[in-house]
Amino acid sequence: MAKMKTHKGILKRMRRTRRGKIMRRRANRGHLLSGKSSKRRRRLRRRSQVPAGQVRAYARLMGA
């Protein structure tokens, strides 16, 4: 059986913290920002944690 390869697309988009959490960039930040309020844009700047149900799947794809 061959080793599982890391998914390079996921690796570029996700970041693992020192405590082991997987962080991702929020959606709706790509374009059409003038229509969004500054409060919303500020909130979208922050990274968000991957939902608990998806952590295992992303961890496997990241090669951990």
- For 20, the 3-state DSSP assignment is coil
Torsion of CA 25, 58, 49, 42, to 10 degrees: 10
In terms of phi and psi (left: phi > 0; alpha: psi -120 to 50; beta: otherwise), the region of 36 is: beta
| Residue pLDDT, tens place only, 26-42 | 999 999 999 999 999 99
Phi then psi for residue 49, to 5 deg, are -80, 140
Give the chain's domains with CATH numbers: 8-62 (4.10.410.60)
What global pTM score does this model have?
A: 0.81
| Residue pLDDT, tens place only, 3-28 | 889 999 999 999 999 999 999 999 99
| pLDDT higher than 80, residue 64 | no
